[in-house]
Amino acid sequence: METKKDIRTRILKLRKDRDLQEWETATAQIAERVTSHPWFQKTSDVCIYMDIRKEVGTWQIIREAWRLGKRVWLPRTEGQRMEFFLTESKDRLTVGAYGIQEPSGDIMYHGDSGLMIMPGVAFDEERHRIGFGGGYYDRYLERHPEHFTMAIAFEDQVLPEIPADEHDIRPMLLVTQDRIRGPY
């Protein structure tokens, strides 16, 4: 089996080389699956990431959440810690760690439930996840296990099997442009 590092390198190159039209089409299909899902429809709080370097785009999901009157929470990292902060406008974002747009506000998410939409570099059929290697989402979800978790990825980021560590937290659902994987 490939190592996490080898998988990360291979999938990030695949993502970088993705055709822009293909990216836009698949992103729109994934956004439609997410925003029509009952978890999205019922929640009042959506914790979601800002996409970079041809990750699945998140703006369509964010705009739909705002349109429906939901509170949108984006991550900000400080050292090894990640927290989510209320974001009510694209104008309230600044470039932060790793060149990722982060919220500039100071209202931190303290909800006891909500929908967490997570990124990932690669996944497998059992929803095991390889991220960028920083462990931010695993540590956050270990402290806040009450979230409904949904990861979004392109179908070619889903492999038959990937190496998984005991501390890795799997999303409850994995949404791609082709299908939704998960027990829910």
Mean pLDDT of 153-177: 93
CATH architecture of 4-181: 3-Layer(aba) Sandwich (3.40)
The reported pLDDT for the residue numbered 70 is 97
User: HSE of 89 in the Cβ direction (CA atoms, 13 Å)?
Assistant: 3
Which pLDDT belongs to residue 92? 77
The whole-angstrom separation of Cα 96 and Cα 103 is 9
Whole-number Cα distances in Å, 90 to 44, 64, 101 = 19, 13, 9
pLDDT confidence band for 89 (50 / 70 / 90): confident
Higher pLDDT, 170 or 100: 170
- Give the pLDDT confidence score for residue 97 in this predicted structure: 67
pLDDT tens by residue, 100-109: 777 888 898 9
31 band by pLDDT with thresholds 50, 70 and 90: very high
Q: State both tokens at 166.
A: 């005991």
Pick the residue with more confidence: 63 or 144?
A: 63
- The pLDDT mean for the chain works out to 91
Residue 135 CA to residue 168 CA, distance in Å, equals 8
What average pLDDT does range 36-64 have in this prediction? 95
- Render pLDDT for 115-140 as a digit per residue (tens, 0 to 9): 999 999 999 999 999 988 788 999 99
pLDDT of residue 178 exceeding 70, the answer is yes
* pLDDT at residue 19 in the model: 93
